[in-house]
Structure 1
């Protein structure tokens, strides 16, 4: 269960933008690509799954390549008994490049590029009962100027006919922020999250899932690497995600449709609409996808630098501006032996201010492009 509520194209706290998602978001996507989309609420997995993925991210603009992230990820899911299971993942990612000089105190005036390394790991223990399960999880992430510790609780209840699953989750994170160009900066941020979700089997060919999540954060949200950046000391976030899957028996294929609405106390509003086609062809699976994203600007975002009045709430961070984006992706997977699957996935992202839903976006935002490539190998031991 993921309790991160940040807009998918506007990560809150990184040294620099690596849209369409921060490194953690990219790695979460890689981990979720390994695990089943709809896991059973009543029984542990029937084997030990070991997954290895490698992610390569590059974003670029008219001036050339800007930011690159490389990250291997290891995932493990295993039954411990007839009623217990565990899952864990770990990664070490490296980020390098030259961020935009616009309003950036690290690579702008100082002419320094960005080099960072992050280690992260999480683990979850799950206990199964006749028609329910409960899990407790922890996570840790550490880099030069950012450290995060998190914990979450989750419960799932399955109806008597096994067609309905109710999910409730609680999460808490404790973040510590510092800065390479401000040695005296030592700030904290605390976030509390809650999630409620319902998965309903509508027919042998149809599944509907809907999740509502809320997050309440307080502490330091400003970006110490952007000049004069000053953001509110709290952020309240609400997200609603709905997924519908339909299986076409004659085609041996499935259509997945996702819609996500997000809003927060900074006046950011976003819409995400995604469609993917899952086609099996013998031992191959082919999954093309298309995603559209649109967000409004934060109330304190401004294209003007410096701000009209110093010391007031202000940010020129383009991740808080208004824009739209399109992502075209394709994933190929092949069964190469019993319980052994290899896959490769590519996504291509384009962002424009003029693509914002319902009107023009922030005028100063330059077009931005990105591509993501993931290669994975999954093995189940029974």
Structure 2
């Protein structure tokens, strides 16, 4: 007749084995979905997206492995290997727990237009200094990433309702707050975060859902029925505002190549011919240096990201662009290793007057 202690150890081993098998199935399922969709889709279970699922599954797997090794009787000659396996599993469990802490608390929020769902869900991860979010198109447990969001000072705009959705044709335009309402102005004045996603056809939305909305700090609609004509004067004003906000975000005082402080109001903006057709575009080129060029470039790019510009990158050059704004393209290149300078270029859309 088996001893009660031995029976309990076998029960613990079976439970640990079942948990290990479950965690392995989750990891294999996630890897399978990613491989089948070339990395464009992943599993989404409640608020657990790819990062959270993989971290949690690894934690469960290593923890159950360690418990399983401890609960299994081993002959004397394998005792050293058993102890080594338990120690390694404990270390891996601790590492997985640290990763889960770094991933942060995740919240999943259905993206609502009014009180109706749109078929999209936003998963936000909070950190000490801010938050990051991923917008998914969800089909059951499979979710496809379509956009990314961010917030400052641990603010989660979608979980806290600080967003608005408007529909124009077959496009949903989403504006969202970067900071908590009334917590301070955006460095670019009227700009908030924004992205667009297509309207999902062939589905019946669920309506009557609870949709708490905090006031946006700057309720600027993503589209306007009659946009103001683009003029050289309006483009110059916006260019000056962008460059001023960018240099304000830099580390220390920005100076030009000769070491003189930069007066953004006096920067020369020139007209160049549009390569794609008639008209001219306004362009500003600025070479400067700061107390820390690398950090300044990173902070400047954050300013441009918060303004809602799309990301791109060329050889040793970070680019932000927009297809519908007067300031169409901005780029920054750090050549500190050669001349100690940062080279910034701002170009407008083509102006036909």
TM-score normalized with structure 1 length: 0.24
Structure 1 or 2: larger helix share?
2
Considering only CA atoms, is the larger Rg found in Structure 1 or Structure 2? 2
> Which of structures 1 and 2 has the larger relative contact order (alpha carbons within 8 angstroms, sep 6+)?
1
Structure 1 or 2: larger strand share?
1
